[in-house]
Structure 1
Amino acid sequence: MTHAAPPTLPSIDFINTQATLQDFSEAVTLLFEPAPPIVKHLYAKRPYPTYSALIDETSDFLATPDKNLTLEEQLDVINAHPRIGAAKANLSALSLIEQGYTPADAAKKVDETATPSTDDAVTQATLKRLNEEYEAKYGFKFVVFVNGRPRSVIIPVMEERIANSTKEQEMKTAMTDMVLIARDRLKKLNVA
C-alpha cells in the first residue's frame, strides 16, 4: 500500500512574497476547502505575520458576509465543505481524518476501499438522509466543526438544527464553524 505524504503548508513568507494565486489557493484550500471568494479576499490582503493571522482575517471577513459577499458567493463558501459522511473520493486528506477515517484509510488511494473507523451502515444511511433534508430546507450543505466526535454523535446535532434553526442562523453557524475547522487544521499541521 502506498501512503501519501501528509499535507503541508508552505512558509508564511512564501505565501506573502512569492506565491502565485494558484500557490496561495492551494494553501488556503488546505485550511478552508476550495472556496474562491475567501482565496480572492485573502490574497488581496497579504501580507500576514502568521497563518493564525490569515485565519483571523477570514473570521473578520466572514463575520459580516452580507457586507463582503454576494449571496451566491456565501453559498459557494459554505458548499466548499464536503457533506458529513461523503464518499472518500470527494474528501480532502484532512476531511477524511475529521470525518472518522483512520490515518491508514485516509492515506489509501481513492480507488481502494476505506471504512470509517467508528461508523456503521445505519449511521451512513441516517447521515445521507439528514444531509438531504438539511439541503432541501436551507439550500446549502450542513457544516459543523466535528472536533473529533464520531459521526454518530453529529446525527442529533443535525436533527436539532433542521428542526429549530433558520436559514440565516445556519449560514452564520456554517461560516463560524468553517473558521473553527481551519484553526483546528492549522494546529494539526503544526503551523503558527
Structure 2
Amino acid sequence: MQHAPAPVSLPTIEFINTEASIQDFATAVTLLFEPAPPIVKHLYSKRPYPTYSALIDETAVLLNNPNQYLTLEEQLDVINAHPRIGAPKANLSALSLIEQGYSAEEAAKKVDETATPSQDDEVTQATLKRLNQEYEDKYGFKFVVFVNGRPRNVIIPVMEERIKNSTREQEMKTAMTDMVSIARDRLKKLNVA
C-alpha cells in the first residue's frame, strides 16, 4: 500500500527570520530552489525578509549578478542543483514532477515505476537523455528551463535550439533567470506570499 507523501509547505517567514537554524532555512529554501548551498548561505546572511517573495527578490539580485557574489564553482553548483529534464521520476520532488508535465495525482504517487511506458514516452526519454548529454558536454552544466507544466516532448525543440544557437555565458544567465521564475511559480503553487 502506497501512502500519500507528506504535504509540501514552507514554514512561516517569522520562523525563517528568527528561529530557523541554517539547516531549517536550507530545507525551506530547497523547496523553492532545489538544494543549492551557495543560495542558502547568501540568503541566510541577508535575513530578515518581510515575505517569501522578498526572499526570492534577493535571490534574483544574487543570480542576476552572480559574478559579484559567487565564484564560478558556486555558480555551477547552483545550476547543477536542478534535476535533469526527464530525470527518473523516483528522483524528482513532487513539485519537479508537476513542473515537468506530470499531473498532481501522478506526482503524489511518484508514478508507478513498474508501469510500462508508452512508445512515445520511451522515445521522449531517450531523446531527452541524449540532449541532456549533448548540452552538458557543450556547456559543462545541466540544462535548466522554466518548464511551467509543458509536456517534456515540447521541451525537446527548446533544448535543440539552445544547444545549436547559444553560448555558455547566455546559458548560465538563462539558467539563473529561469531558476528565479521556477521559484516564483513554486511559491505561488504553495500559496505563500
Kindly provide the CA deviation profile for residues 88-144 of structure 1, in whole angstroms up to 9, marking residues without a partner as x.
222122101111222222223688547889x61111111111000000000000000
Distance in 2 between the 1:124 and 1:110 partners?
Answer: 15
Distance in 1 between the 2:128 and 2:140 partners?
Answer: 17
- Identical residues among aligned pairs (%): 82
CA contact (8 A) 1:61 1:68 kept: yes
CA contact (8 A) 1:101 1:114 kept: no
Q: Structure 1: where are the runs of 5+ without partners?
A: none
Equivalent in the alignment of 2:6: 5
Equivalent in the alignment of 2:18: 17
Pair 1:133-2:134 in alignment: yes
1:48–1:149 Cα change, 3 Å:
same
What is the TM-score with the length of structure 1 in the denominator? Answer: 0.94
1:116–1:166 Cα change, 3 Å:
farther
What is the TM-score with the length of structure 2 in the denominator? Answer: 0.94
1:154–1:109 Cα change, 3 Å:
closer
Kindly provide the CA deviation profile for residues 4-60 of structure 1, in whole angstroms up to 9, marking residues without a partner as x.
132000000000010000000000000000000000000000000000000000000
Distance in 1 between the 2:134 and 2:97 partners?
Answer: 23
Distance in 1 between the 2:187 and 2:66 partners?
Answer: 23
1:111–1:40 Cα change, 3 Å:
farther
Equivalent in the alignment of 2:73: 72
Q: Structure 2: where are the runs of 5+ without partners?
A: none
Equivalent in the alignment of 1:84: 85
Offset of residue 184 of structure 1: 0.1
Pair 1:34-2:38 in alignment: no
CA contact (8 A) 1:105 1:114 kept: no
CA contact (8 A) 2:89 2:110 kept: no
Distance in 1 between the 2:171 and 2:33 partners?
Answer: 18
1:33–1:113 Cα change, 3 Å:
farther
**Greater shift after overlay, 168-177 or 147-156?**
147-156
Distance in 1 between the 2:115 and 2:79 partners?
Answer: 26
Equivalent in the alignment of 1:121: 122
1:83–1:28 Cα change, 3 Å:
same
Offset of residue 176 of structure 1: 0.2
SS at match of 1:42: helix
